[in-house]
Chains A and B, each alone.
Chain A
Amino acid sequence: MIPVAFDYLRPASVDEAVAALADGGEDAKVLAGGQSLIPVLRLRLSAPSLLVDLGGVAQLRGVREEGDALSIGAMTTHDEVASSPLVRRHAPLLAAMAATIGDRQVRHRGTLGGSLSHADPAADMPAAAAALEARYVLAGPSGRRVVSAADFAVDLFTTALADDEVLVEIQVPKMDGWGSHYEKFHRMVQAWAIVGVAAMVRRTDGVIESARVTLTNMGPTALRATAVEQALAGCAADRAAIEEACSVAAEGTSPIDDLTASAEYRRHLARVLAGRAVAAAAGV
């Protein structure tokens, strides 16, 4: 189908984009890579009065090293994130997860900032950002503010972004020395995750010192599996101990029942995939 008509602006700077959103009111929408938004427009599930296209804001693109963190421009594509030598070295979880999104064509256009701002519960990037404890830089009419991944994700398709704010940058702490792995369960490569589990593990000899485990599509936002993280701290890095610790992976989750899977099956998947993801991240 053809989208409902809308006005279109392609600002050249973040300030211009923020001003355009402020003028456009609540029916204005930001267009990033468009790989979620354009299909939604085409189905006429959304009919914004104005699209503010960030594609012309060159400074929003690319990966920079800033001390003990990486700064990733919000308009950096999934393909660029997946292939960035800096991301692969200092945040390999993010690179690996970006490489599982959609297909090549989608990764060429879709962006990290767009995916995080869209906040689809089945999207992979929010779970990556939560595991990495990323910080989000938001630009608005009164300047910039920084929010944590936990505070950014508010609810289903809802973030801390105000109508006149733009996500401009994602700061990812370098996680050198941590092992990481993402287990994504889906029926075919293009499909959304039915459940995904991201794991990061720091181990000393045979013991897991600390771990972070996050869940995709087990609730309205990406969730931190805190019960698993606590059970893993000080746990022996062997398969049986890890599986035991991961048996609580569904605690505190609220997965949906839908055509692809029941809530009970999703809880089962969370436990099994958490065991696999943590074992792989721990190198066992």
Chain B
Amino acid sequence: MSSTAKITVTVDGDQYIDTVEARTLLVHYLRETIGKVGTVIGCDTSNCGSCTVLMSTADEPARSVKSCSVLAVQADGATVTTVEGLAAPDGSLHPVQRAFHEMHGLQCGYCTPGMIMSAIDLLRENPDPTDEEIRDGLSGNLCRCTGYQNIVRAVRAAAGEEVAP
């Protein structure tokens, strides 16, 4: 029994092997241990969804999770995709990133990484959502600038595109 554990995690295509404290939150591991600072902490209360990443374990498809509400040790053996793993190697944007850019789906930009990851998760399940379904699907993500109109437009614009990261 120990308060530390060795974990193996694949993040944005690279494998990491680290010994972490069991109490380390996945978001802290991503940001502070492996430097994935694109994933941000907004609220520290599990409400805002800024820290949303995609996570898959074993043979399950990748699903959105709030990385502040997952322990790094729970991600042992998992594959995680953050906003930093979306663009192609040549830098060209993922369709959802491009849609947020073109539709101006952000104001201050702080919620954007989480919004994009949640939008990808929603479009994976429902490739052609209505505005109502987009709002419901993104209800785990808050935009404190209240820029929701353009966020919904951005998701609608990306609908129908291949979104698997």
A interface with B by C-beta (< 8 Å): 1-10, 31, 34-35, 38-39, 41-42, 50-51, 53, 55, 79, 102-106, 108-109, 188-190
Contacts and interface: CB of A to CB of B under 8 A. Distances in A.
Ordered nearest first, which 3 A-B pairs have the shortest CB separation? A103-B140, A8-B22, A108-B63
Contact of A109 (B22, B44, B70): B70
A5 B3 contact: yes
A1 B44 contact: yes
B68 A79 contact: no
B23 interface: yes
B126 to A, nearest CB: 11
B106 interface: no
Given A109-B65, A190-B140, 6 more contacts: A2-B23, A39-B46, A42-B25, A105-B118, A106-B66, A108-B64
Given A3-B23, A39-B46, A53 B2 contact: no
B66 A105 contact: yes
A8 B68 contact: no
Contact of A4 (B23, B57, B63, B68): B23
Contact of A7 (B22, B24, B71): B22
Interface string B1-36: 111010000000000000001111100100000000
Interface residues of B, number: 36
A20 to B, nearest CB: 8
A79 B61 CA distance: 13
B24 to A, nearest CB: 8
A6 B140 CA distance: 29
B155 interface: no
A224 B63 CA distance: 35
B69 A35 contact: yes
Contacts of B44: 1, 42
A189 B46 CA distance: 14
Given A35-B69, A38-B70, A109-B65, A8 B49 contact: no
A5 B1 CA distance: 13
A186 to B, nearest CB: 12
Among A1, A41, A106, A189, find the residue whose CB has the most chain B CB atoms closer than 10 A.
Answer: A106
A9 B2 CA distance: 8
A253 to B, nearest CB: 29
Contacts of A50: 1
A79 B60 CA distance: 13
Nearest to B121: A104
A1 B23 CA distance: 11
A6 B49 contact: no
Given A35-B46, A104-B118, A42 B68 contact: yes
A8 B3 contact: yes
22 contacts: A1-B44, A2-B28, A3-B23, A4-B23, A5-B3, A6-B23, A7-B22, A8-B3, A8-B22, A34-B74, A38-B70, A39-B46, A42-B44, A102-B140, A103-B49, A104-B137, A105-B64, A105-B140, A108-B63, A109-B66, A190-B47, A190-B139
